[in-house]
A and B are shown apart, each in its own frame.
Chain A
């Protein structure tokens, strides 16, 4: 049974702070890792994808992957109230195999 675990939150951070979101996965052969943002009542929107160990930066977002520890994280720098949403971690064995999602972490950025 492939599992993806996330702290459900809510995670509250003040505006301008760094938000750190974490995810662990059970299937060691997983190859592709994704972070999706989901606003209430909306569908998931892709923020980041990462495939290799290390960090990947895109604007205010940094994804970190550690395959040995089976751990993926997302850092949001200079958090804004508009970042308040549920962040879903998703994992797949290869590029087009089904995504296995965590339950999501609810982030609240306080102005």
Chain B
């Protein structure tokens, strides 16, 4: 157990809908990173939050957005869902300069 919790575990949406995924970081960690993992691929970096500010972004469109709260928990929001958004969404928490630990992930299916 890494102490990183994600909710929900599974989600089914239809194309065009919006979704919010949640992540609670490990105690003492102030940085949250989000990754998308398509089937058969390695995780791809979406963005990172450090002390409530976006601290880097990967090659994802603006319809992928996020937030980090004062308790360092985080949300990932995806608008206008597309079929290709179907993937495992992973949250990783860390202290700045240290190893990233992953939560169990949210499996999103877009129909």
Given contacts A42-B104, A43-B105, whether A104 and B99 have CB atoms under 8 Å apart is no
With contacts A49-B99, A94-B97 taken as known, whether A43 is within 8 angstroms of B88 at the C-beta atoms is yes
B58 and A98: CB pair below 8 A? yes
* Interface footprint category on A: 20 to 34
Contact: A4 with B42, CB < 8 Å? yes
Contact yes or no, B33 A95, CB < 8 A: no
Number of B interface residues in the complex (CB < 8 A)? 28
Contact A44 B102 (CB under 8 A): yes
A35 to B92: give the CA distance in the assembly, Å.
15
The answer to whether B98 and A95 touch across the interface, beta carbons within 8 angstroms, is yes
Taking CB atoms, residues of chain A closer than 8 Å to B105 are: 42-43
Chain A positions within 8 Å of B, measured between CB atoms, are 4, 34, 36, 42-46, 49, 88, 90, 94-104
